[in-house]
Structure 1
Amino acid sequence: MDLAIDLLSPQPAPAEWIVWFTAGCALSLVVFRRLWLPARNAVTIAHEGGHGLVALATGRRLEAIRLHSDTSGLTVSRGRPTGVGVVLTLAAGYPAAPLLGLGGAALLGTGHVTLLLWIATGLLLAMLVMVRNAYGILTVVLTGAVFLLVSWLTGPEVRSTFAYAAVWFLLLGGVRPAFELQAKRRRGGAPDSDADQLSRLTHVPAGVWLLFFHTVAISALIGGGRWLLGF
């Protein structure tokens, strides 16, 4: 009963300086390459999780998720090779991190810090069932362990600071991958990217799909940022 009350009861918003401080920390992780390379694993988890969740939601058979040490990933699902299901599955990867950040910002905007941490832990545990390589298992387990330990062992102030930092990172980190993909395609790389596969399936230019990814990420950052900052 106490756990249910703790999950559903709103917590006071942190001091304004903490909100800005966590935003600055998250921005540093995204902007500086040496910090971004390891931190990008969290965005890859969200990306592949987005593919997997939408694959299941559209009736496809989810067979495996793999996360690699170069921060790339692969989600394998079975079903019709064409149609709405496969299009939605492919389109879900890049928007996943920003939309998770937006949902997290909505929860934090109403003070539900503990609920957010437990939802994140639950999503990571659900994803772990489908991960099929050692590095991926290690990455998801460590990420889930951090959320679980913060939820159980820290006080309200630490939980709140961690939650704001995590959501800011999803919002800000969700913007960079589409620009990275755009740069790779400009150099002639990534011929089998999500955007290129979507282009072949829908006959809509890959650049339009990239614009869609950019629009979702930037819109989520603006909307989520307003919630976090109380505007």
Structure 2
Amino acid sequence: MEQVTNLWSRIIEGQAPPPSWVVIGTGVLALLIVLTGGPWRLARGVVTIVHEAGHALVAVLVGRKLSGIRLHSDTSGVTVSKGKPTGPGMVATAFAGYPAPSLLGLLFAVLLGNGRIAALLTVAALLLLGVLVMVRNAYGVLSVLGAGAVLVGIAWLAPTAVQAAFAYLITWLLLIAGLRPLVELQRKRRRGRAPDSDADQLARLTGVPGALWLLIFAVMALTCVVVGGTTLLAEVLPNGLLPTGSAS
């Protein structure tokens, strides 16, 4: 009970930003994870969870019946919903996956910019719980439970400094990792190996070329990196590096 009270207090009151080396260091680490092989594969699983959660959330919001989510060992996933196979609702559902990690990273950056580390961890836990309820295969359940175990362990057992570093790492990772799946998708599309990708589904639904949808995803991801990164760094950059207004 005391831990719950302390967590709630941190959510309400907020926390001071960590040292600048933590903010910058976690950003560099996140970039290295995205650019490397083995670490990226682990991170890719987290990105896929958020990707499928984006599909699922929008499907529910537009009135479709969510059937379930499946996560696979190759870090791919699929979200199945029932409803009209065409129209704005289906377009919104198909569109929601790729921007989801970048947008969640931007939300997390805003929370961290306001000192809401505990709130970020709570939002992440609720996201995982929502996905867990809808997962329909064993590997997916194990993946979400594993991610949840790490999150709960850090939120409940780790020192405040570790929680802050973890929150910044996850945020940077979501922001930066929103770009790599788009590069991978374009490579697959060039080889004709992704006929059922979100971009190609959107092309069939709207008549707009898949390449243009991919460009829209990329612009959104880059925008989130710039805005989110600026937000994360605003509290730690020297005042001389920040833009200032002219004195009158």
> Structure 2 length normalisation: TM-score?
0.91
Q: Does 1:32 align with 2:36?
A: yes
Matched residue SS, 2:38: helix
Once residues 20 and 3 of structure 1 are traced to their aligned partners in structure 2, the CA distance between those partners, rounded to angstroms, is 26
Q: Deviations over 1:62-87 (max 9, x none)?
A: 00100000000000000000111110
Measured after TM superposition, the shift of residue 186 of structure 1 is 0.9
Q: Deviations over 1:142-174 (max 9, x none)?
A: 111111111111121111000000100000111
Matched residue SS, 2:15: coil
Once residues 147 and 8 of structure 1 are traced to their aligned partners in structure 2, the CA distance between those partners, rounded to angstroms, is 20
Q: Deviations over 1:199-227 (max 9, x none)?
A: 00000010110001101111001110001
Once residues 7 and 117 of structure 2 are traced to their aligned partners in structure 1, the CA distance between those partners, rounded to angstroms, is 13
Residues 69 and 78 of structure 2 are in contact (CA less than 8 Å); yes or no, is this contact kept in structure 1? yes
Within 5 Å, which residues of 2 pair with 1:12-23? 12-23=16-27
Residues 105 and 175 of structure 2 are in contact (CA less than 8 Å); yes or no, is this contact kept in structure 1? yes
Once residues 12 and 55 of structure 2 are traced to their aligned partners in structure 1, the CA distance between those partners, rounded to angstroms, is 29
Match for residue 97 of structure 1 among 84, 96, 101: 101
Identical columns (%): 52
Match for residue 82 of structure 2 among 78, 96, 102: 78
Residues 118 and 148 of structure 1 are in contact (CA less than 8 Å); yes or no, is this contact kept in structure 2? no
Once residues 214 and 205 of structure 2 are traced to their aligned partners in structure 1, the CA distance between those partners, rounded to angstroms, is 15
Q: Does 1:41 align with 2:57?
A: no
Once residues 9 and 154 of structure 1 are traced to their aligned partners in structure 2, the CA distance between those partners, rounded to angstroms, is 19
Q: Does 1:120 align with 2:140?
A: no
Measured after TM superposition, the shift of residue 2 of structure 1 is 4.4
* Structure with max Cα Rg: 2
Once residues 116 and 4 of structure 1 are traced to their aligned partners in structure 2, the CA distance between those partners, rounded to angstroms, is 12
Once residues 127 and 189 of structure 2 are traced to their aligned partners in structure 1, the CA distance between those partners, rounded to angstroms, is 31
Residues 13 and 111 of structure 1 are in contact (CA less than 8 Å); yes or no, is this contact kept in structure 2? yes
> Structure 1 length normalisation: TM-score?
0.98
Structure 1 residue runs of 5 or longer lacking an equivalent are none
> Could you tell me which amino acid in structure 2 is paired with residue 212 of structure 1?
I
Structure 2 residue runs of 5 or longer lacking an equivalent are 235-241, 243-248
Matched residue SS, 2:182: helix
